[in-house]
Amino acid sequence: MDYTWDISLVTGHKIIDEQHMQLFATLVNLIEASSQGLGKDEIYSTLDFLSEYTVMHFKTEEELQIEYDYPYYSLHKRSHDEFKTTIYELINSLQENGPQKELIDSVVQTVGGWLTTHIKGKDIEMAAYLKSQGAMKKSREQ
pLDDT tens for each residue of 113-133: 999 999 999 999 999 999 998
State the CB neighbour count (10 A cutoff) for residue 31.
18
Low-confidence ranges of the chain (pLDDT < 50): none
- CA dist 79 and 93 (Å) reads 21
Phi, psi of 69 (to 5 degrees): 55, 50
Chain-centroid distance, C-alpha 65 = 17
How confident is the prediction for the chain on average, in pLDDT? 87
Q: What is the pTM of this model?
A: 0.87
11-141 fold: Four Helix Bundle (Hemerythrin (Met), subunit A) (1.20.120)
DSSP state, 38?
A: -
pLDDT attached to residue 51: 86
Closest CA to 61 of 91, 35, 84: 84
Report the first-to-last Cα separation within the chain, whole angstroms. Answer: 34
